A and B are shown apart, each in its own frame.
Chain A
Amino acid sequence: MVESLIWPSWPLHGNDLMRLAVALLLAAVCGEGVARLMKLPRVTGYSLAGLLMGPALLDWFGPTDLDNVRIAIDLALALLLFELGVRLDVRWFRANPWVLVSSVAEAALVFLLTFATMRVFGHPNGLAATVAAIAIGTSPSVVMRVAAESKAEGQVTQRLFVLCALNVTYSIVLSKLIVGGMHGVFRGDWTLAVLHPIYLIAGSLFVGAVLAFAFRLLQRAFDLTDEQGVAVLFGLLLLTMSALAILKLPSMLAPLIAGAIIKFSDPRPHLWPRHFGTAGGVLVIALFMLTGTTLTPTLVLAGGLTAVALLLARLIGKLGGGMLVGAPSGLSLRQSVVLGLALLPMSGVAFLLAEDIRTIYPLFGSQLAPIVLSMLAILELLGPIAVQWSLRKAGETRAGGR
């Protein structure tokens, strides 16, 4: 029997690692191809690869594989949200409250319009509110990656980051409140309905504050812009992720809060490690590819028409909110329009929110998933393109500029 430990058994069998490696390579090739040949954002290519390899077409990966790599998705998102948080300077809202108003207007309009659309399609209030809450959020991963790829900087880019950070926060908080409501409806446990959301939000704030404090301590000890910085930052975020998992807290709110606390308590420039892009890039490819693999054809088709209508309603909300208060906040009409368009992407966060609900209430989750996932399927591909196009129209991209 020793032979079987020494020699490979014939015929050869691939293992999970090999599948993942091939998938990663394919995604990278897709991303590069899309960027070179079609001048589209790389993330579109990653998502495309995910869709190809997922159950929708080749069926190499299914939703069950996702559980194994959930930590990779969580970590990639946490990194991006942390970075996004650092770019959220809350002092700005005191200097220009209209920015906050435009954020609330945009989010409220999206919520109302998507909720109404769900009702028109005959869905119950609970489901309508959940979908509407998820629809508020803009994908931080798409926004951050596409902006970084096109080296965008300027008013539209800056506001895109801020509005994205804010609407993701609204989206998470609202959907947690709705989950709380479900405890009341499905279990009749109204104490839990009140306590659970409070625990989730207060807990996230607490962990976020601890993370911010730890980061600032480490910043004093290490030069975070050098190579070692990557390891320190990864370690710190992994530790946070595991703490959040143990405490059963959402993985997305705390890093964002931590980032914002860091910027608020120390306005000095916080720069990311030079190699951060490279290391984080692998995780980002995984993030987009894996969310792509969750889409099964039946789910996408089930969502179908509703999803298209919802996306239209969401588009009107995102555009309308910005245009209503664009001028007093200091934007031109053109900037308001492209900013609204750039807010379109949905991906990782929406997916995780739907997943979190599905794990607690599977039945409700199975009604929710088709709608959210169909919206995702469309926006995974179109969202990044919308961001890229908007930033170009705003004249804020520098990659190969005039």
Chain B
Amino acid sequence: MSLEHFAESRSLTMGVELELQIVNTHDYDLVGSAEDLLRILAKRKQSGVVKPEITDSMIEMSTGVCDNYHDALEQLGTIRDEIVDAARRLNIGVCGGGTHGFQHWDDRKIFDKPRFNLLSELYGYLAKQFTVFGQHVHIGCPGPDVALYLLHSLSRYVPHFIALSASSPFLQGSDTGYQSARLNSVFAFPLAGRAPYLESWVEFERYFDKMATTGVVKSMKDFYWDIRPKPEFGTIEVRVMDTPLTMRRAAEIAAYIQAVSRWLMIERPMRPCEDDYLVYTFNRFQACRFGLAGTYVDPRTHEHRTLAEDIAATIERVEQHAIELGADEACRAVREIASSGVNDAVVLRGDHADARSLNEVVRRQCLRWKS
């Protein structure tokens, strides 16, 4: 099976996908009601798309192609309202957050769909442990080579996106000490991590064909990379973010990614190189573990600073592009998160310190998602 043709898409448009948790309203554990929710939503005229995910207590909502922050915010808001309304009719809760705080992975059931059953068979318990919830952002690219350029340039900023969105401090009933414990679950997959350093689509196709002949992969879907090209949409897909607690935060982060992408694509500030990846996993770990307070090692200057500082500096650099995209409001909000150090993981820990019950923390997640 060969790689599909890289479709055309309008440059720098974006699309946002959010994986959401479905919980009961009694003890706020995850509940397998994806099918019920989808049944109700199917009866209505929907603006966006809502799809099942690997286990039956997750759903994924996605926007269409968005031009800018306000467009994304509006689209997300409409779908969010539809989902919240359907959930209310079923007396269940829907919320953001990268992990569910106290669910037991073995209680999960695989959503009955051929692909999911196949994955479950292959990965065993990993598939059920994959009940984690992420935000994916697509950025439209004018061509495949540009897509690969953007993919590798954007990799330098992956720790930013992790720290800004981190919302998974709790796992299986305990505080992990991490700000994004979700990414540790993703990392367990054999084809997780970063994309190989290939600069042209011809090389990338060759790589894909070689992988396909080994029988390890069949389609791009089998790669769980942090950023991966999505040829059928003509986009690259940034997949490191936890689903934030509010859809406004999701839109802000998407807008920040869009602004950085525009700056990278138009100004071409630096040519990516393989050695940029030397510090990649270190930076990524720091972001997962310590969030905005984590250390960031600049791949070029080898300078050490905090992620918060690097984010503030980046926002300054991309300001003009943010204004062009109408993302300046969103970037201001992102700068505020960086300077205050309060991301969603901090919010969740605050809720837990206050309520002393993870069940109550999840209930508050549902309230935040509605707001």
Contacts and interface: CB of A to CB of B under 8 A. Distances in A.
A358 interface: no
| Residue of A92, A99, A154 most packed against chain B (CB within 10 A) | A154
A89 B107 contact: no
A271 B92 CA distance: 17
Interface stretch (A242-250, A274-282, A393-401): A393-401
A265 interface: no
Contact of B26 (A151, A269, A330): A269
Interface residues of A, number: 25
Given A268-B363, A269-B359, A330-B40, A153 B29 contact: yes
Given A158-B24, A396-B32, A402-B109, A268 B360 contact: yes
Given A269-B363, A330-B39, A396-B32, A92 B91 contact: yes
Nearest to A93: B91
A331 B89 CA distance: 11
Contacts of A89: 25, 91
Given A92-B91, A154-B33, A330-B40, A402 B110 contact: yes
A265 to B, nearest CB: 15
A330 B89 contact: yes
A298 interface: no
B107 A151 contact: yes
A83 to B, nearest CB: 10
A153 B36 contact: no
Contacts of B2: none
A241 B360 CA distance: 31
B357 interface: yes
B31 interface: yes
A366 interface: no
A96 B90 contact: yes
Nearest to B120: A402
Contacts of B357: 269, 271
Interface string A45-89: 000000000000000000000000000000000000000001101
Interface in B280-333: none
A373 B215 CA distance: 66
A125 interface: no
A374 B212 CA distance: 67
A269 B28 contact: yes
A11 interface: no
Interface string A379-402: 000000000000000011010011
A267 interface: yes
A206 B90 CA distance: 30
A153 B24 contact: yes
B31 A153 contact: yes
B297 to A, nearest CB: 43
Chief secondary structure at chain A's binding surface = loop
Nearest to A401: B109
Contacts of B91: 89, 92, 95-96, 99, 158
Contacts of B110: 402
A272 to B, nearest CB: 9
A315 B355 CA distance: 45
Interface string B108-129: 0110000000000000000000
Contacts, number: 61
Interface in B27-79: 27-29, 31-33, 36, 39-40
A86 B26 CA distance: 8
B88 interface: yes
A155 interface: yes
A355 B161 CA distance: 67
Contacts of B359: 269, 271
Contact of B90 (A269, A330, A332, A395): A330
A198 B339 CA distance: 63
Contacts of A395: 32, 109
A260 to B, nearest CB: 13
Contacts of A87: 26
B360 A269 contact: yes
B29 A155 contact: no
Contact of B33 (A95, A155, A398): A155
Contacts of A153: 24, 29, 31-32
Nearest to B25: A89
Contacts of A95: 88-89, 91
Given A155-B90, A402-B110, A330 B363 contact: no
A96 B88 contact: yes
A333 to B, nearest CB: 11
A322 B346 CA distance: 45
Nearest to A269: B359
Contacts of B355: 268
A398 B363 CA distance: 22
Contacts of A330: 36, 39-40, 89-90
A189 B109 CA distance: 60
A398 B105 CA distance: 11
Contacts of B24: 153, 158
Contacts of B39: 330, 332
A332 B36 CA distance: 8
Nearest to B117: A402
Nearest to B32: A154
A37 to B, nearest CB: 25
Contacts of B88: 95-96
Contacts of A155: 33, 36, 90, 92
B49 to A, nearest CB: 20
B38 to A, nearest CB: 11
A228 B195 CA distance: 55
Contacts of B25: 89, 267
Contacts of B360: 268-269
Contacts of A99: 91
Interface in B1-40: 24-29, 31-33, 36, 39-40
Nearest to A329: B89
Contacts of B92: 155
Given A92-B91, A158-B26, A269-B26, 14 more contacts: A86-B26, A99-B91, A153-B24, A153-B31, A154-B32, A155-B33, A267-B363, A269-B27, A269-B357, A269-B359, A271-B359, A331-B36, A395-B109, A401-B107
Closest CB pairs A-B (n = 10): A269-B359, A95-B88, A96-B89, A92-B91, A155-B36, A398-B107, A269-B27, A153-B31, A330-B40, A269-B28
19 contacts: A87-B26, A89-B91, A92-B91, A95-B88, A96-B88, A153-B31, A154-B31, A154-B33, A155-B33, A155-B90, A155-B92, A158-B26, A269-B360, A271-B359, A330-B39, A395-B109, A396-B32, A401-B109, A402-B109
Interface of A: 86-87, 89, 92, 95-96, 99, 151, 153-155, 158, 267-269, 271, 330-332, 335, 395-396, 398, 401-402
